[in-house]
Structure 1
């Protein structure tokens, strides 16, 4: 009996409220973390990103981004191999070699124009390929939205990076650890600087920012894992909880509620349905270009 009582808080935390997303059993806690993250972002991250963008011209920031991306190619290569994607592995190896040599340690991305385009892969994707489920949606402090499997995968990718492991033998673990922290901080700062307008637009266009953020992240990851349909497989096709149906006309108002937002929050026009017509298919909206890159870094290195 005492053991059963100890399980009650866990069961209560995992129980989804009526109408809640079953992939997000910790929604209440995740919303609190998002509020914390937004506070940190407003006080520290965004001002630092704005200063970084003002201090460094675009070509310099692009070179930094290219170097950081090139350093991550061995991780991508390892996951290509673990997933038996051997052609992608060869492409990744070729890309790493070209950019490291002709691209001056990756400062210039000369591999993409040469046809060696990136073949992204991460350990979360590898675990999914071996059948491990996503687990619950999580909003991590500072790191942002993910799920349990991908959070573990990101940790493995960071710790098992061959470049980082080799650096530990060359300069020592302490120095290499500091270099790794600096590299991660610089990568996060650069990513935030590149997405200032993106996140502003995402927030401004959302009736419920948390619900929209979760929707964008989950759909993007589903597309990366090949679980979406032929249209939704494109990163730009994202479900908008508050979007109007296509072909909406001025005849009949339809009230759309944003998930988790409580009472209906928006009124949009819709065309009247013909008598006896079948129910419309689920609505998908092609978001503008900024949404195609929304929170790309939440799931990247």
Structure 2
């Protein structure tokens, strides 16, 4: 971790002096963010993508689906807490029911029984909870290893970390193994999207920034307390803008 922090800091220092002509108003830190994006892409190329590719080739699809379901189920409990903090009764109830049904009937969440029962998923995090009560997103910010974020979400990250059930797993070796598997699972789910981006003639940085901010903005608008509950039940996490092994639902819709 010290080595990663040192490399990330070096990248930030080397790129922080560069200036960007006509920066996007949403992205005043663009020179730093582009440098950090380059650092993250190097880590991805050298480590994450090869491991995720090997994982996808070696592990059967049903097992990978079970792994994704397990981590999505863990997230449902934290979504329940944030839905409660946002005063969203129906969403909180669904999150609570989903977690219990999948934990006790779905082999700890490996099977997504709740979705088969038509119980919708309402994904939330503490950044969206802050937004629900009027805290602005602040500038776009690329975090070392974690990727796209905003200043608000970066400050909310320690709370999200503490709220994650994985953070309370003992012993430490088991916790770290679960975190590593989670990273590999997420990266594996994005391999196809990465291939599309790599083959497209576009500015990947601007594309990813715009997609992230648009999805996050839509989630914030959905959480606007001035909107009718019927129209605001869903908050969507932006961490997987191209799709997720655990689908999300809107009420009445078929379930990235």
Correspondences of 1:254-293 after superposition (within 5 Å): 293=241
Q: TM-score, normalised by structure 1?
A: 0.66
**1:151-230 residue pairs with structure 2 within 5 A?**
151-161=154-164, 164-165=167-168, 167=169, 171=170, 175=171, 177-226=172-221
Structure with the largest fraction of strand: 1
TM-superposed CA distance for 1:156, in Å, is: 0.9
Matches within 5 A, 1:51-66: 51-66=54-69
Q: From the superposition, tell whether residues 109 and 121 of structure 1 become closer, same or farther in structure 2 (CA, over 3 Å).
A: same
> Over alpha carbons, which structure has the higher Rg?
1
1:74 Cα deviation after fit = 1.5
Structure 2 gaps of 5+ residues are 1-15, 224-233, 246-256
- 1-structure distance, mates of 2:220, 2:244: 14
SS at match of 2:221: coil
- Indicate whether 1:109 and 2:112 are aligned: yes
- Give the length in aligned residue pairs: 215
Greater relative contact order structure (CA < 8 Å, 6+ sep):
2
Instruction: Assess, with a 3 A threshold, how the Cα gap between structure 1 residues 131 and 122 changes in structure 2: closer, same or farther.
Output: same
Measured in 2, the distance between the counterparts of 1:193 and 1:147 equals 24
Q: Secondary structure at the match of 2:66?
A: helix
TM-score (norm 2): 0.76
Partner of 1:294: 242
1:141–1:163 distance in 2 versus 1, CA, 3 Å: closer
| RMSD across aligned positions (CA) | 2.6
Structure number with the higher helix fraction is 2
Which residue, 120, 140, 151 being the options, matches 1:148?
151
Counterparts of 1:95 and 1:206 in 2: how far apart (Å)? 41
